[in-house]
């Protein structure tokens, strides 16, 4: 069976558009609410990235950090995250879910147990921020055996030689980090330059899907829409924080934002 992630890309291509990927932190601002947000945004998002909150994140900017600390403070545990995904999948069986986090959380849960749980709860892909290639070779193989995509990260600092090796070993989807930044930084490179880099990577193996992430907002997403897929994370986390601050319903506001994001890439 085709991984729902590949299916989502195929569908977006048929509609002649980029796939929209969202990132939200599991348990932000509560277990119940984060599930509601996933359900609500799934109407417009093609692939849902779900963040495993971690308290020493070395690659996340302030927006995602705030969401992660909020979720941890509200008591989210690894098993709760799997439960949220399982509950989501009950009503959205074919909507692909990518779990994204730091390797220590997987290590402490136990690699094998973690992958089994990913399988049973319906996780389709994994992004492990601090498990780069070639350190991730073993783990990526284990993912493949479970039919889970291990998504490689590629950065503007990744050398051409290294890009080729990573892509050769990669699964059908990869993630290009738009610029030198933690998540949610202000876009300091022009969308044109980002796309230039993206096209160079895409040429190495055109069959592999490449999404672009980091620093993408409502304002910039439209200019990048020729990519296979675009990820918006910090802007959504920011919307949750803003809603909470103004005592508004994050579910409604985030859904509106995702709808708007979608409209910009149509």
Partner 1 sequence: MKIKKKIPLIDQANKLGFWGGKFGGNYVPETLKKPIEDLEILFDKLKNDKKFIAERDKYFKNWVGTPTRFIKLKNLTNHVGGAQIWSKVVSDANGGAHKIYNATVHCLLAKRSGKKFIIGDTGAGYAGKMLSMAAKKFGLKCKIFMGAKDIARQQPNVKAMKKNGAEVIPVYSGSQTLVDAVSECMRFWVANCDTAAMCVGSTVGPAIFVRICGWSTSQISRELKVQLIDEFGSVPKKLKLYNCVGGGSSSFGFWNEFMDYDKKQCEFIGVEAGGPAKSKKHAAPLTYGSKIGILHGAVQYVNQNSDGQIEETESISAGLDYPGISPLHCFLKDTKRARYTAASDEDALSAYKTVTKFEKLRPSLEPSHAFSVAIKEAKKLSKDTIVVVNSCGDAYKDRGILKKRLGKKYVKSN
Active-site residue list:
49, 60
Per-position x/- string for 164-193, each x denoting binding to partner 1 as judged by CB under 8 A, each - no binding: -------------x--xxx--x--------
The maximal CA–CA distance of the chain, rounded, in angstroms, is 50
Question: Looking at beta carbons only, is 185 or 222 nearer to partner 1?
Answer: 185
Question: Looking at beta carbons only, is 153 or 261 nearer to partner 1?
Answer: 153
Applying CB under 8 A, among 11, 83, 105, 242 the residue interacting with partner 1 is 105
**Shortest separation between residue 33's beta carbon and partner 1, angstroms:** 20
Applying CB under 8 A, among 10, 13, 77, 144 the residue interacting with partner 1 is 77
Q: Tell me: does residue 58 bind partner 1 (CB under 8 A).
A: yes
d(CA 2, CA 251): 31
Looking at the DSSP bridge assignments, the partners of residue 74 are none
Looking at the DSSP bridge assignments, the partners of residue 24 are 50
- Report residue 185 as tokens: 């930084």
Residues 110-149 touching partner 1, rule: CB under 8 A, are 129-135
Per-position x/- string for 212-241, each x denoting binding to partner 1 as judged by CB under 8 A, each - no binding: ------------------------------
Question: Looking at beta carbons only, is 75 or 266 nearer to partner 1?
Answer: 75
Sheet holding 47-51, edge to edge: 149-150, 125-128, 97-101, 47-51, 19-25, 229-232, 209-213, 173-177, 152-154
d(CA 125, CA 23): 13
Question: Looking at beta carbons only, is 20 or 131 nearer to partner 1?
Answer: 131
Q: Are 226 and 205 in contact (CB under 8 A)?
A: no
Q: In 146-190, which ranges are continuous DSSP H helix?
A: 160-169
DSSP state of 157: T
Residues of this chain that bind partner 1 (CB under 8 A): 54-61, 65, 69, 72, 77-78, 102-109, 129-135, 152-159, 162, 177, 180-182, 185
């Amino acid at each position: 069976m085709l991984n729902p992630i590949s299916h989502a890309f195929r569908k977006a291509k048929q509609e002649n558009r980029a796939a929209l990927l969202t990132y939200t932190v599991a348990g932000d601002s509560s277990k119940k609410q984060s599930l509601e947000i996933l359900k609500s945004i799934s109407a417009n998002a093609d692939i849902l990235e779900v963040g495993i909150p971690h308290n020493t994140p070395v690659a996340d900017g302030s927006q995602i950090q705030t969401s992660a600390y909020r979720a941890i403070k509200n008591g989210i545990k690894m098993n709760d995250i799997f439960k949220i995904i399982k509950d989501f999948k009950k009503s959205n069986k074919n909507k692909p879910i990518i779990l994204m986090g730091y390797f220590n959380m997987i290590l402490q849960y136990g690699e094998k147990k973690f992958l089994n749980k990913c399988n049973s709860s319906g996780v389709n892909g994994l992004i492990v921020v601090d498990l780069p290639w070639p350190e991730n070779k073993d783990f990526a193989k284990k993912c493949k055996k479970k039919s889970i995509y291990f998504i490689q990260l590629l950065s503007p600092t990744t050398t051409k030689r290294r890009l080729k090796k990573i892509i050769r070993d990669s699964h059908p989807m990869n993630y290009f980090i738009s610029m030198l930044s933690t998540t949610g930084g202000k876009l300091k490179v022009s969308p044109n330059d980002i796309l230039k880099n993206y096209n160079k990577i895409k040429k190495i193996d055109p069959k592999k899907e490449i999404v672009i992430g980091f620093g993408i907002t409502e304002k910039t997403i439209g200019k990048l829409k020729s990519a296979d897929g675009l990820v918006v994370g910090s802007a959504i986390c920011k919307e949750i924080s803003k809603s909470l601050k103004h005592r508004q319903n994050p579910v409604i506001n985030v859904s509106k934002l995702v709808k708007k994001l979608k409209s910009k890439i149509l």
